[in-house]
Each structure stands twice: as C-alpha cells, then as structure tokens.
Amino acid sequence: MTATFDTDRMAAVIYGSEKLASRRREISAAVSRIPELHDSRPLPFMDRLEKVTEMTRKLAALNKHLPDIIDPNDYEEGLHLYHEVMGMEGHPLALHEVMFIPGLIGQGSDEQYEKWLGRARRREIIGCYAQTELGHGSNLRSLETTASYDPSTREFIIHTPQITALKWWPGALGKSSNYAIVVANLIIRDRNLGPHPFMVQLRDEETHRPLQGITVGDIGPKMAFNGGDNGFLGFDNYRIPLGNLLNRHARVEEDGIYVKPPHAKVGHSAMIRVRSHMATGQAWLLAHSLIIAVRYSAVRRQGFLEDKTREVKILDYQTQQYRLFPSIARAYAFIFCGFETIRLYDQLILDVNKHGNTSGMADLHALTSGLKSVVTYQTGEGIEQARMACGGHGYSMASYISEIYGVAIGGCTYEGENMVMLLQLARYLVKSVELIKNGKSKELGPMVAYLAEPDTQEKTPLELKDYVKLFQMMSKRQSWKATERYLKLVEGGVSRDVAWNKTAVELTRASRLHTRLYIMETFIRRVSSIEDMNLRMVLRDLVNVHVNYELLDCGIYLHDVSLLDSIKNQLYSSLHSLRPNALSLLDSFQFSDIQLRSVLGRRDGHVYENLFEWAKSSPLNVSDVLPSVDRYLRPMMEKAKL
C-alpha cells in the first residue's frame, strides 16, 4: 500500500527539525560506507567478554572517524551516531555522554567546568554517575555512602560503611571509567546534610588501575545491555580535595561552614534531566520493536479472508492491528510529550542558573516521576506485544526484539523504581486536592488546575476535546477518591506513614491517570500545531487510535455502557483507517538495517532467506559434530544398544 504522506517530512516532525532528520540520514549513509564501524559478526552469537571487546573496538574506530561524520559538539548528531554504530547493548561512553557530562554541567561551578568539563568532552577522561547502592536505589534519603569533611586538611573522606553502601549498577563503572560523580551524604561536624555530588577519581590515568582505597569491578551479566560494564564501587576512607564537591548550588567553606542550595531538591536536577529525556528514549526503543513487527507482519502470510487463492498478510487481521497500532500511537505520543518535558526542563535549568528561580522544580519533579513510570511500563508492554505478534520467529534473537525489551524494561527500575515514582507524583496530587479542599485553588499549578473543575457530562459522539474532558474527569475522581481515603485514615488516628501505605494502590492509580492525561494532551496539542495537512491528517488518525484505546483501557472509570460501546467502535474504525499508513509511520523513524540489527525487520523484506543465512552463522554450526556429542551423547546411545 502507498502512504498518504512523505516519510522524510514526517521524520522532521519526529526529530524536531528537517535539518536534524536530514543529518540523521546523512550520518547513517556515512556509517554504511565504513566497514570497521559495523559489527564484526552478529552480536547474539558473542559471549559477554566478546561483546565488551567488540563495543570498545568500535568505539576506538568511531573516535577516529567521528570528526569526519558529525559536528562533535552537536549532541543530537552524536547521539544518533552512537546509536547507529554502537547499538543499544552498552559501551564505555554510554553513561559518560548522558549522565557524567550533563551532571558536571548541571552541578559544577564555572571553575569546575574549567578543570574537568573540557577534558571530559575531549575524552581525556571517562566518567560515570554513581548514585544507586546495593541496598538503596530509589530512596535517595537512605543512601549510606558518606563524605565527611576534615577541615584540618580541607578534604572530604569518602567511605563505604557496610556492604549495602556499595555503589551498584552505574554503567561503565566496572572496567571503563576512571572518574565518577559520586553521590554521598555530606557530613560536617557529625551533622548529616544529605546527599551531595562529588567528583572522584577512581583509577590512575596512566595505568587505569584502581587507586588505593578504591574497590571497583563489574557486577556480572544482566538481562540485556551486556556490552556495558555496569559496576560496583566501594571506598575505604578515601580522601578527595574540598574543590571536588560539585558546588554550583551548595558549597562548603574551608572552615566547614555549609552554604545550602536555594531549593531542597535542586540536587535532583541530574535525575530530573534523565527522566525528562526518558519519554523520547523509550519511544525510540518502542518504535524499534514495532518497525520489526510491522515489517514482518507485512511479509508473513497466514490464513484466508475474501480471496481464497492467496493467504492474507497477518497485518490485515484486526487482532494484529489491535496489538500493534495503539503502540505506534504511543510511540508518537511519547516523542511529543518528551519534547515538551525537555523544554520544561531546559527552562527550569535556565531559571535556576540565571535567576535563582526554583518555583518549577517541584512540579517538574512530580511530572517526570509519573512520566518515567508510565512510559517505561507501557513501552515494555508494547515491545512484548510486538515480539508475540511475530509468532515463533519473535522468540529468536534473529528478531532482536528480546534485546530491545531487555534494554527498555530496565527503565522501570533505573532512575527510580516505578511504584516509588508513582507515589512521589501522588504526594503532589494529594497536596493539590488538599489545597482545593482548603479553598486555595488559585495556588494550583497549571497541570493540576482541572482537579478543581466540575465533572463533565458523558456524551456521544466524542470530539477530541471531549476525550480530554473525560480523561480529566476520570483522573480527577481518582485523585479525590484516593486523597479522601488517605485523609480519612489520618483523621481516624492512623499515622500518616501507615495511612499512606494503606492507600498506596489507589494513589498509584491516580498518578497513572494524571500522567496518561498529560501524554494525551501534549499529543493532541502537537498534532494540532502541524501545518502540513497530509501529515496532520495521518497523525489525526493516530491520535484517534490513541484516545479511544486509552479511554477503553481505563474504561473501569466510566459508567455509561453505551459510551464504552461507542469508544470501541471508534477504535476499530480508526485501526482500519490507519492500516495503509502504519508501516510508513514507522519508516518515518528512518532506522537503518545496521541500527535495527534484526533479520525480521530488514527493509528489503527478504526475511526467510536471511533467517537461514543467520542460523548457519551460529558457532554451533562450525562443525557437524560437537565435542559434547562425542563425549556424552554417543557413549550414552552406544551403551543403550547393549
């Protein structure tokens, strides 16, 4: 089928500009012409050490060619180049670019920029971000690593008091990084001032061996991301200079006087930044799996419909469309809502750094907590549906979907475990409802103003604004219901912590609805702003799939049976309308075959021939008879003949 729109123009919408979309195509073409930037053999056939070695080999080759392919100072160009060449299985600079350098920028002073930022950007040093501990992840307040100030030497003494305080999970920490931003509790005169970021050298710059007082290593194989060396890190009264406290927002004077930051949560900006970018990152992973599944579904034929002489493409079955098309809509919705959230984050950092204005910190912290949780969970759902939509071949590593799933699903736990994140947002919602109950609706932030509005009237047929009103009503009802349940327990004499725990499930439901409402609103706003009518029309079909699927998925909160029936009918009609453009909507992401690394998702559609070639390249097929057969199976069979 022929698409009704230009995929290059849609790519410009997806990536934010025609220039960037065009540059991505140029970068992919450049990589295709440089063999040493390609995988030396399929990654699924490599063991862990081979993967780490392969990723490091390609990184060194990439560093040589990088200035000829991209502007090294352009973050977006660099990100695409790394995705194209390195893939998604991890490499020594994975956290250097997305956590270490941004952490320095967000937390370091101008003097510290001068000392470390240039070196990091030139890759004279390789860094990571060490916050999560073996016994403590999402609960930042319970981190155990300490940084005690010694005024006599003007040094901090970093120490790991017990095994649960080991830093655990930071990417590229295990074997690659020689520096880290370490989050530790600042201790001055036996007073714990809470978590603060410190710049810490871990390894000698000449020998790369760990420095005295440092225990560091790799944590072992993971569900995915096994080209990356996630690590552990411990300190034995390790000393660093006073100037190694990243002090853009908080500082310690030589005599031990502490100057606190302007906002209690300003130290969370690195986490907020990562969560702000997670929506677009997860959309990218979801789109990866969907283009594989939809391309394969356009090749695979099975069963008959009207024409009994030729089997049907499985993409023409309504069940296959129901499995895949809502996730296409979510991928686009996550992209667009991610753009808006990143804009909000950039504005926040500008306000904090230039004007000392931290008023947006709490709102964005709450929003990104909910987004991180909802987007990662729904992405995991969508990728798994894409795998199952490929039938048995989806289970093979030849599809590469299992690797995509393993990388994406890690998002449910890194940067905050999802349930904890939902409950952080819930505190914001409860506080907002309490403001309304106390007659202070004017103090509400713009994102929660709807909580004070009266219920809408359920009706049919629905226009887009009606879908938003219905979702607002559902979200509002759940936020009020959960808040009143919590307050009733507190008023009855139950402690706040116990009352919170007894209300936690209802609170997380409120957070999910509020977040899904934000995603829906930003999706609709972005599509409505597109001037190209061909693009807007196909995206309007995608929005229709999204709003009907979301309402139906949350239908437990609606009480009108006829309304639910109408929503179902609208959804089925929208699936049918979207069918001619489904594949082109995913082609608009413009993933190359090199980047996809999927036999099922090849652009040329030659699935079966290449599956056979891929299987023949298995190391088990190097010889006709394996040593295990000669050593164990043949003797067993010979013995059975006696």
Please say whether the beta carbons of 143 and 184 come within 8 A: yes
Q: 234: annotated binding-site residue? A: no
DSSP string across 619-636: GGGSSSS-HHIIIIIHHH
**The tokens 């990143």 sit on which residue?**
342
DSSP string across 203-220: B-TTT-PBPTTEEEEE--
Tokens of 290: 């969907």
Residue 361 parent element (H or E): helix 361-389
Please say whether the beta carbons of 435 and 443 come within 8 A: yes
Please say whether the beta carbons of 368 and 341 come within 8 A: yes
Report DSSP state, residue 33: T
Q: How many helices (H) and strands (E) does the chain have?
A: 23, 11
Please say whether the beta carbons of 235 and 158 come within 8 A: yes
Phi, psi of 380 (to 5 degrees): -60, -45
Indicate which residue of 97, 415, 521, 550 is catalytic: 415
Please say whether the beta carbons of 166 and 159 come within 8 A: no
- Gyration radius (Cα) of the chain, Å: 27
CA atoms within 13 A on the CB side of 450: 20
- What's the CA gap between 32 and 41, in Å, rounded? 15
Please say whether the beta carbons of 65 and 34 come within 8 A: yes
Please say whether the beta carbons of 233 and 130 come within 8 A: yes
Is 415 a catalytic site residue?
Answer: yes
Q: 4: annotated binding-site residue? A: no
**β-pair partners for 183:** 197
Please say whether the beta carbons of 361 and 352 come within 8 A: yes
- What's the CA gap between 471 and 563, in Å, rounded? 13
Residue ranges for the binding site?
132, 171
Residues that are catalytic: 415
Residues placed in the known binding site for FAD = 132, 171
